[in-house]
Structure 1
């Protein structure tokens, strides 16, 4: 190494190289494990959910005359835009 490189920089370079080698080794091992693993059977994940026995009840709230007028005004206002 050149003389102008500090000792801490040299240690950092060595640690970076070791981390890179460890990452490559781990990646190679992971690829081998995945490649050698037996294929899992494909199942539909939605098939395990139970079906609805009946449709949910509709909910409604009776509106007063003033509320109906206000709603009609909103509908007209949105219809213009």
Structure 2
């Protein structure tokens, strides 16, 4: 026990530390319980504003490049490859 700290102050710090630990444990138990209830209710909670997602993605799109565009792209690739 440190000599410069009164025993009452040490006891108070120990009580506060214990109370904080009990509070943290209680909050974690409450959060865990409410999270379990929310997961059970999750399928019923739907957002009607959002559209349903498609099962497949959009079709592939492709664009034919002109010879000048191909040359410019090749030059850009060479320029970035040098770094």
Smaller-chain TM-score bracket: 0.3 to 0.5
* Structure number with bigger Rg: 1
Task: Using structure 2 for the length normalisation, give the TM-score.
Answer: 0.45
